[in-house]
A and B are shown apart, each in its own frame.
Chain A
Amino acid sequence: MLLGLTVLTGVVYPLLVLGFGQTLLAERANGSPIEREGLVVAHEPIGQGFVSPEYFHSRPSACERPYDGMKSSASQLGASSEALAAQVKARVEALGDEGGAVPVDLVTASGSGLDPHVSPAGALWQVERVARTRGLAAERVRELVLQHVEGRTLGILGAPRVHVVRLNLALDELR
């Protein structure tokens, strides 16, 4: 009986989904790659780390190597943890004084360590730095961020957000 069920649910069922995915939704079933000049530079759902000041930074990642797609991880630190409080403080200091409190998503690690988004507030907070280091008008960069804001699905599901990879790719196009 287990053998029969194994064939049905462990072979036939996944292969049906595989067949459907690879024929009708092939791009998504293979990780939704994003190309630039013929080179795959990202996969839509998976975030990337950015360290240079001229890019918008993603959220802190708790992966051993940040944004390591081979090993998703979270910090698992509790709200009363000394370690978490120290991390948050260090992140706030590392971000420097750009005026005003730091949006919470920029100083907390995501659940997956691969979060592709920051909040619109988190992106706007970085506009000054990005514009300054790139020698661009802050207004142009702010405009670009606002163009990349995704609202809630159907107006209620999820949270407003900005896809950091897409934003940075568009930023590289601005000259």
Chain B
Amino acid sequence: MSWQSLTEVALLVVLLLLLAPPLGRHLARVYAGEPGRIGRWLVPVERALLRGAGVDATRSMGWREYALAMLALQAVGIVALLALQLAQAWLPLNARGLPAVPWHVALNTAVSFVTNTNWQSYSGEVLLGHLVQLLGLTVQNFVSAATGMAVLAALLRALEPEPREGLGNFWVDLVRGVVHVLLPLSLVLAVALLSQGVVQTLASSMSNAWIDPALAGTVQESALGPVASQVAIKQLGTNGGGFFGVNSAHPFENPTPLSNFLELLAILLLPAAACFQLASSVRRPAHGRALLAAMFALFLPLALFAMRVESGSSPAFGGAPVDAQASELQSGGNMEGKETRLGPGESALWAAATTATSSGSVNAMHDSFLPLGGLVPMFLMQLGEVAFGGVGSGLYGMVLFALVAVFLAGLMVGRTPEYLGKKLGAFEMQMTSVAILLPSVAVLIGTALVVATQAGRSSLQEHGAHGFSEALYAFSSAGNNNGSAFGGFDGARPLADVLLALAMLVGRYGVALPVLALAGSLAKKRAVPPSPGTLPDGGVSFVVLLVGVIVLVGALNFVPALALGPVAEQMGSSVHGR
């Protein structure tokens, strides 16, 4: 691994630490209804949207009403996106005359975008016209991200010290997230990406002559479209669904090292800022810092490990005279499925960032990573997408683990556990356990169904350990709403599409609904002042406890499965010498 890669990691951490605190404070103010000096200009947009939908913005909802509003929006979203894809042959802005998307791909894609997973069963430039990309995918990129942020906002209100009845108004939270956070950030990023050569046009393709006369007679055609606007939000909203099939490996989604760095920063920005949003809205700065520290403690070692692994040579090069050594003249490493402008270090760093968060966008093909390099993104997803996790969903997932941590600590000293001063009862711990375990159950059962059935196995590209890894990766991704893939897995088959769609629904609502129920219960409680026996909610000991709980739960759930996949593959290739 080169010193340049290490410097880039350091730069990334420093920029996150500089940008996340002010953005987090902005988030806290936005959800408290204080849009700030610049945000005030956007309030009319917010009001127009709410008035247009006939929402009474002053009405605070209980957790059930809040959850029902969310589910209603998502159900309509799935139906609308499904309809758009099935009707695309008759819709405008389809210059290439693309036919209806196959039903199972359309269903999978609809669920995928609404649940903020953005698993790509579709290949953008092959299957989707511009209208579907704009009105379907881009819109759900915003809406699904803002939904996660709204659920977090509701949970944070419940954690405020004073007891309260309602959790806020879902529609207001939804609109505020879009108007005051996602839209302005996306505009800034989209313009930055345009300057790097990301395209934005309504044309559907362009052509040029080949330079080599031996290829004369044909032309090179390339797909185009409104790419910059979609890439910006897919990175910021931890969505990850690309305009093109190969996502941010495509030169029109990610043309330069600078565009790569900006997109990388964008993946981590909002999830990191959420820690400071919590610190600000419940006035517990030490706790916010502790949560962020735990996230970095999980992310950084795994990222550095993957970067090191991918910078090495591949067993696929066998005895062939291939030079994979890094030097002044090449980045070297395992370059299958990676772009020259990025090299192995940045590809592996991105792989870790995109799976630590629930983004799932890729700038290199994870399926072609070395066995242990591919283990890293898989394990990061299996940890439950809490370091850093999705926008909104990452932090509410992290709070669940914090509840388990204080519960365990409470058991050890024989005290009623409390979180931020609120006493935790049986109901809270039940909801927490359900929310933590459901995604893992979806991952393991889905993987088992695929490898145990003929129809399922037909989706696997490879036999043996790597084939198992492809299935395990697919369900780890769907069940935790990530969306990246071992691309050899052919998801565009009815059984795989439907099973993955189910896993995505479980992964999203199996967590969001228990979190809202938990919020409903915590909201009614009054925080008790800390006593000498209270576990501090910040500091090194809390971070160690929290990281320990996350790793323990992840390891207990997934070490057996990982042993059958990447670990077996690694051992096999070292035994056979390739």
Measuring CB to CB, which residues of chain A are less than 8 angstroms from any residue of chain B? 1-6, 8-11, 13-14, 16-18, 20-22, 25, 28-33, 39-52, 55, 59, 67-81, 84-85, 88-89, 92, 100-105, 107-122, 124, 152-153, 155-161, 165, 168-169, 172
B202 located at the interface, meaning its Cβ lies under 8 Å from any Cβ of chain A in the complex: yes
Known pairs A31-B222, A51-B212; A158 contacts B200 (CB<8 A): no
B336 located at the interface, meaning its Cβ lies under 8 Å from any Cβ of chain A in the complex: yes
Q: Tell me which of B178, B224, B258, B370 contacts A79 (CB under 8 A).
A: B370
B213 located at the interface, meaning its Cβ lies under 8 Å from any Cβ of chain A in the complex: yes
Known pairs A110-B340, A112-B250, A119-B330; A42 contacts B208 (CB<8 A): yes
B454 located at the interface, meaning its Cβ lies under 8 Å from any Cβ of chain A in the complex: no
User: Contact at B343–A158, with CB atoms within 8 Å?
Assistant: yes
User: Contact at A17–B229, with CB atoms within 8 Å?
Assistant: yes
User: Contact at B221–A68, with CB atoms within 8 Å?
Assistant: yes
A10 to B371 CA separation, bound complex (whole angstroms): 40
A171 → chain B closest CB, angstroms: 10
Residue with the highest number of chain A CB atoms closer than 10 Å, among B11, B196, B206, B337: B337
User: Contact at B220–A69, with CB atoms within 8 Å?
Assistant: yes
Q: Tell me which of B77, B139, B251, B334 contacts A116 (CB under 8 A).
A: B251
Residue with the highest number of chain A CB atoms closer than 10 Å, among B134, B321, B365: B365
User: Contact at A104–B488, with CB atoms within 8 Å?
Assistant: no
Known pairs A8-B49, A111-B365; A74 contacts B337 (CB<8 A): yes
Known pairs A101-B321, A158-B257; A30 contacts B203 (CB<8 A): yes
Known pairs A100-B323, A105-B340; A160 contacts B125 (CB<8 A): no
B369 located at the interface, meaning its Cβ lies under 8 Å from any Cβ of chain A in the complex: yes
User: Contact at B138–A69, with CB atoms within 8 Å?
Assistant: no
Known pairs A8-B45, A70-B222; A121 contacts B330 (CB<8 A): yes
Q: Tell me which of A6, A29, A33, A73 contacts B139 (CB under 8 A).
A: A6
Chain B residues whose C-beta falls within 8 Å of the C-beta of A28 in the assembled complex = 194-199
User: Contact at B250–A72, with CB atoms within 8 Å?
Assistant: yes
User: Contact at A50–B200, with CB atoms within 8 Å?
Assistant: no
User: Contact at B340–A119, with CB atoms within 8 Å?
Assistant: yes
Closest to B182 in A: A9
Measuring CB to CB, which residues of chain B are less than 8 angstroms from any residue of chain A? 4, 7-8, 11, 45, 48-49, 52-53, 55, 73, 76-77, 80, 123, 125-126, 134-136, 138-139, 141-143, 171, 174-175, 178-179, 183, 186-187, 190-191, 194-203, 205-215, 220-224, 226, 228-230, 232-233, 244-246, 249-252, 255-258, 260-261, 313-318, 320-324, 327-343, 346-347, 362-365, 367-371, 374, 461-462, 464-466, 469, 486-488, 569, 572-573, 578
Chain A residues whose C-beta falls within 8 Å of the C-beta of B330 in the assembled complex = 103-105, 119-122, 159-160
User: Contact at B199–A30, with CB atoms within 8 Å?
Assistant: yes
A92 to B201 CA separation, bound complex (whole angstroms): 40
Chain A residues whose C-beta falls within 8 Å of the C-beta of B367 in the assembled complex = 74, 76-78
User: Contact at B211–A168, with CB atoms within 8 Å?
Assistant: yes
Chain A residues whose C-beta falls within 8 Å of the C-beta of B343 in the assembled complex = 158-159
Closest to A90 in B: B320
B130 → chain A closest CB, angstroms: 9
Q: Which 4 residue pairs are nearest across A and B when measured between Cβ atoms?
A: A158-B257, A69-B222, A111-B249, A159-B343
